Amino acid sequence: MNGKTDRLENRREFFRRLGRWIGLGALGLLGWPLLGRRRAAPADTVWQLDPEKCIQCGNCATKCVLALSAVKCVHAYDVCGYCNLCGGYHQPYVKRLDTAAENQLCPTSALVRTFIEEPYYQYDVIEERCIGCGVCVKGCGSFGNGSLHLQVRHDRCVNCNDCAIARQCPAQAFRRVPADRPYLMRGERWKAGSRKA
Amino acid sequence: MMSGAQRPTANAAKNAAAALFAFLAAAVLAGTAAAGATAEARFPKPQFESRYVMPRAGAPPARAAMLEYLDVAVLVASLGAAGWLVLRARRRGGVTLLTVFSVLYFGFWRKGCVCPVGAIQNAALALFDGGYRAPVVVGLFFLLPLGATLLFGRAFCAAVCPLGAAQDLVLFRPVKLPAWTAGLLGMLPSVYLGFGVYLAAMGADFVICRFDPFVGFFRMSATPSMLAFGGALLLAGVFVGRPYCRFLCPYGVLLGWMSRFAWRHARITPDDCVNCRLCEEACPFDSILAPTPEHHPESRRAGVRRLAILLAALPALVAGGAWLAASLHAPLSRLHPTVRTAERVLSEDRGAARGTTLYSDAFRQSGQPARELFASALALRARFRKGAWFLGGFIGAVFGARLVGLSVRRRRTEYVIDRASCVSCARCFEYCPRERERVKKTRNGG
């Protein structure tokens, strides 16, 4: 009886050891393509959207896993024309070029303007208010210089394994970019080459 | 729903903008509406006379790589601590403390991402898609818990995984499910694993992340359906031990395979089992196996015959599963956005579908020829078909192996832990009278 139990234990221990080596081998086989096989170790990546591909469909505002999207409107000041009549700021067919709420395009009044000098106005995005809907971006792109554009803001983005907006982006504007150059902004940064990422 | 409401406004804006542009174009610069793609410099850079300094858009940096490796270090440390607590210290209290820490760190602080459960999909995508490379940190998060389990069982589940930890902390009134319910539901994780890997390998979707039940709580932000799913699981988890871990978690399947062969594994008793039966009801996860009766009710001959039949049926199950899945490859391929768009565009072109969708509009706007889209959709569908053979075969094999496993007679003379399903939570230790004696001795000794 005792001998039988011992034999059983020995057999089980043998199979366990065998399984352990197989398991170790399997981990090695998985680990090689996952960790090894890298010549120039690629930097870790984060998600970003390419404003040149973006079609301002509005998905960014609603598809992000965060209730208030990580995508926000960003203003490239050096591309902006500082116009009084702004396609991104004003409602279409607006009669009075003032800051009245009914004249503003932005649903949350996240775009504000300040008078600089005749005839120039500076436009700023208040990020806390911006929901990333892209309405102003569309207005700016179809009428103005396209200085307003959408970007994933990395102080908010939780860098999901699989970006929920990227999955549903109809223009396939999202891609992974190196974490040390995490923006695809317009303007000088854009010209400085961060676009090539 | 928001985009639907906004699109008309945006279109109106575009029309209005075009009209205004025509009015202003003469005064500003000679540009055509066709230049819309490169919208820059329709209006010249302003020449400021005042001493105005142009601000620059802020660009908050991404999380530093150093911090990502800190996460890996914390993972390694917690895995080590969990193993030590379960195997050497045998302290349930310590395990609970580590559980709380994991919920706080990997859950609320790191917002539940990256987690090894979801990393399965990165691994699958990296293996099957040459163009994708999983970040090193994600690769480590996938491999380290598997390696640790090979060493000392599923201590990762016990106290490190934030999803498991969240459920472990709400388990107040454990009830036992009927064996058949638990057994049947226990098949789900393998099926889920198969689908998760399949869809990730096809580049279609990361379903495991999408249906992560608790990440919404960790981020304190989620869609109502996510919150409802997570809330329901937590509520069920008050009575049924770790419902996600046992009946859904795909990573648990892999860990279970590793845990069977663990170098060291938690034991109920610190030394010898005295068959006192006190631990019989201790495990809320049905992971304690009772000794087998001296005389099995079924005759040996009948058992062997049944086993032989099941073993012979195993290849048939694999083949049947593979065939069934392969014949479903067309609807499965619709989970890929490219295939969906292609089908939509095709049915619009043929007049079968009225109107357009966001996706077909975007495709037409891109100027890519439809033929290219259809070609890539067809190539994807062929890939889905090939993959479906493996998926179906895997699911068939899982069912077959389960049937065979039920018929294999294993002789047990004492109460032992089922290594595959045990999450090393250390709850059963204190039920063992030998353990109590050991604790008393060490207290008196030290």
Distance from CA of B91 to the nearest CA of A (A): 26
- pLDDT of amino acid A42: 58
Q: Do the domain assignments include residue B38? A: no
Chain B residues with CB inside 8 Å of A186's CB?
Answer: 40
- For B46, name the nearest residue in chain A, comparing CA atoms only: A81
In chain A, how many domains are there?
2
Please indicate, yes or no, whether residues B433 and B355 belong to a single structural domain of this protein: no
Please indicate, yes or no, whether residues B428 and B398 belong to a single structural domain of this protein: no
Nearest to A62 among B2, B21, B341 (CB): B2
Please indicate, yes or no, whether residues B281 and B347 belong to a single structural domain of this protein: no
Name the more confident of B17 and B198: B198
Please indicate, yes or no, whether residues A35 and A59 belong to a single structural domain of this protein: no
Which tokens in the block code for residue B214? Answer: 């608790």
Q: Name the band, by pLDDT with cuts 50, 70 and 90, for residue B35.
A: very low
Please indicate, yes or no, whether residues A53 and A94 belong to a single structural domain of this protein: yes
Q: Name the band, by pLDDT with cuts 50, 70 and 90, for residue B120.
A: very high
The pLDDT of B108-112, averaged and rounded, is 88
Nearest to B358 among A20, A57, A133 (CB): A57
The verdict on B263 touching A (C-beta cutoff 8 Å) is: yes
Name the more confident of B41 and B318: B318
Q: Verify whether the Cβ–Cβ distance A44 to B52 is below 8 Å.
A: no
| Containing structural domain, residue B121 | 67-292+423-445
Name the more confident of A186 and A150: A150
Please indicate, yes or no, whether residues A156 and A75 belong to a single structural domain of this protein: yes
Please indicate, yes or no, whether residues A161 and A115 belong to a single structural domain of this protein: yes
- pLDDT of amino acid B245: 94
Distance from CA of B187 to the nearest CA of A (A): 21
Nearest to A145 among B41, B54, B205 (CB): B41
Residue A99 near residue A113, CB atoms below 8 Å: yes
Tell which residue, A61, A148, A20, A98, has the closest CA to residue B3: A61
Please indicate, yes or no, whether residues B219 and B363 belong to a single structural domain of this protein: no
Q: Which residue type is seen at A176?
A: R
Chain B residues with CB inside 8 Å of A75's CB?
Answer: 57
Q: Do the domain assignments include residue B39? A: no
- pLDDT of amino acid A145: 87
Q: How far apart are CA A151 and CA B59, in angstroms?
A: 10
Please indicate, yes or no, whether residues A23 and A51 belong to a single structural domain of this protein: no
Nearest to B411 among A8, A153, A189 (CB): A8
Q: Verify whether the Cβ–Cβ distance A44 to B262 is below 8 Å.
A: no
Q: How far apart are CA A190 and CA A196, in angstroms?
A: 9
Q: What's the farthest any 2 CA atoms get from each other in chain A?
A: 102
- For B338-373, write each residue's pLDDT tens digit: 999 999 999 999 988 888 888 998 898 888 899 999
- pLDDT of amino acid B41: 67
Chain B residues with CB inside 8 Å of A43's CB?
Answer: 65
Out of A70-84, A87-101, A111-125, B21-35, which region has the weakest mean confidence (pLDDT)?
A: B21-35
Examine the pLDDT at B74 and tell me if it is beyond 70: yes
**A113: part of which helix (H) or strand (E)?**
strand A111-117
Please indicate, yes or no, whether residues B317 and B239 belong to a single structural domain of this protein: no
Chain B residues with CB inside 8 Å of A187's CB?
Answer: 57
DSSP state of A196: G
CA angle B222, B227, B229 (to 5 degrees): 135
Nearest to B3 among A23, A31, A62 (CB): A62
The verdict on A36 touching B (C-beta cutoff 8 Å) is: no
Name the more confident of B148 and A188: B148
A111 strand-pairing partners = A125
Across B217-226, B288-297, B396-405, which has the greatest mean pLDDT?
Answer: B396-405
Please indicate, yes or no, whether residues B350 and B267 belong to a single structural domain of this protein: no
Please indicate, yes or no, whether residues A90 and A32 belong to a single structural domain of this protein: no
The verdict on B16 touching A (C-beta cutoff 8 Å) is: yes
Q: Verify whether the Cβ–Cβ distance B13 to A105 is below 8 Å.
A: yes
| Containing structural domain, residue A192 | 45-196
Q: Name the band, by pLDDT with cuts 50, 70 and 90, for residue B390.
A: very high
Q: How far apart are CA B117 and CA B254, in angstroms?
A: 10
Please indicate, yes or no, whether residues A55 and A122 belong to a single structural domain of this protein: yes
Q: How far apart are CA B408 and CA B397, in angstroms?
A: 16
Please indicate, yes or no, whether residues B288 and B306 belong to a single structural domain of this protein: no
Question: Please, what sign has the CA dihedral across residues A154, A157, A161, A167?
Answer: negative
Q: How far apart are CA B54 and CA A147, in angstroms?
A: 13
Residue B296 near residue B303, CB atoms below 8 Å: yes
Return the number of other C-beta atoms located less than 10 Å from residue B156's C-beta: 30
Q: Which residue type is seen at A159?
A: N
Examine the pLDDT at B30 and tell me if it is beyond 50: no
The pLDDT of B247-266, averaged and rounded, is 94
- pLDDT of amino acid B104: 94
- For B259-309, write each residue's pLDDT tens digit: 999 999 999 998 888 888 899 889 999 999 999 888 878 888 888 999 999
Q: Verify whether the Cβ–Cβ distance B263 to A34 is below 8 Å.
A: no
Please indicate, yes or no, whether residues B219 and B306 belong to a single structural domain of this protein: no
Distance from CA of B161 to the nearest CA of A (A): 17
Cis, peptide link before residue B114, omega less than 30° from 0: yes
CA dihedral of B111, B117, B122, B127, whole degrees rounded to 10: 170
ipTM of this complex prediction, to 2 decimal places: 0.82
Q: Name the band, by pLDDT with cuts 50, 70 and 90, for residue A103.
A: confident
Please indicate, yes or no, whether residues A154 and A93 belong to a single structural domain of this protein: yes
The verdict on A51 touching B (C-beta cutoff 8 Å) is: no
- pLDDT of amino acid B193: 96
Examine the pLDDT at A196 and tell me if it is beyond 70: no
Name the more confident of B335 and A102: B335
Examine the pLDDT at A193 and tell me if it is beyond 70: no
Tell which residue, B416, B286, B273, has the closest CA to residue A12: B416
Examine the pLDDT at B8 and tell me if it is beyond 90: no
Please indicate, yes or no, whether residues A173 and A102 belong to a single structural domain of this protein: yes
Q: Verify whether the Cβ–Cβ distance A142 to B36 is below 8 Å.
A: yes
Q: Name the band, by pLDDT with cuts 50, 70 and 90, for residue B31.
A: very low
Q: Which residue type is seen at B415?
A: Y
Please indicate, yes or no, whether residues B369 and B388 belong to a single structural domain of this protein: yes
Chain B residues with CB inside 8 Å of A133's CB?
Answer: 2-3, 6
Q: Name the band, by pLDDT with cuts 50, 70 and 90, for residue B124.
A: very high
Examine the pLDDT at B1 and tell me if it is beyond 50: no
Q: Name B426's Cβ contacts closer than 8 Å, sequence gap at least 6.
A: B85, B86, B90, B91, B92, B95, B158, B266
Which tokens in the block code for residue B219? Answer: 């981020």
Please indicate, yes or no, whether residues A143 and A77 belong to a single structural domain of this protein: yes
For residue B134, CA distances in Å to A154, A183, B329, B391 come to: 20, 20, 27, 22
Q: Verify whether the Cβ–Cβ distance B13 to A182 is below 8 Å.
A: no
Please indicate, yes or no, whether residues B304 and B280 belong to a single structural domain of this protein: no
Q: Name the band, by pLDDT with cuts 50, 70 and 90, for residue B406.
A: confident
Residue A140 near residue A147, CB atoms below 8 Å: yes
Please indicate, yes or no, whether residues A131 and A109 belong to a single structural domain of this protein: yes
Examine the pLDDT at B33 and tell me if it is beyond 70: no
Please indicate, yes or no, whether residues A83 and A113 belong to a single structural domain of this protein: yes
Distance from CA of A196 to the nearest CA of B (A): 17
**A112: part of which helix (H) or strand (E)?**
strand A111-117
Distance from CA of B26 to the nearest CA of A (A): 14
Cis, peptide link before residue A92, omega less than 30° from 0: no
Please indicate, yes or no, whether residues B333 and B272 belong to a single structural domain of this protein: no
- pLDDT of amino acid A41: 52
Residue A43 near residue A180, CB atoms below 8 Å: yes
In chain B, how many domains are there?
2
- Put simply, the chain A residues between 80 and 119 with a CB less than 8 A from any chain B CB are 81-83, 85, 87, 91-93, 105, 107, 116-117
Q: Name the band, by pLDDT with cuts 50, 70 and 90, for residue A40.
A: very low
Interface test mutation site (partner B, options A143, A150, A163, A195, max chain B beta carbons within 10 A)? A143
Q: Name the band, by pLDDT with cuts 50, 70 and 90, for residue A38.
A: low
Q: Do the domain assignments include residue B251? A: yes
Tell which residue, B334, B442, B313, B317, has the closest CA to residue B392: B317
The pLDDT of B59-76, averaged and rounded, is 87
Residue B325 near residue B392, CB atoms below 8 Å: yes
Q: Do the domain assignments include residue B46? A: no
- pLDDT of amino acid A178: 85
The pLDDT of B323-349, averaged and rounded, is 93
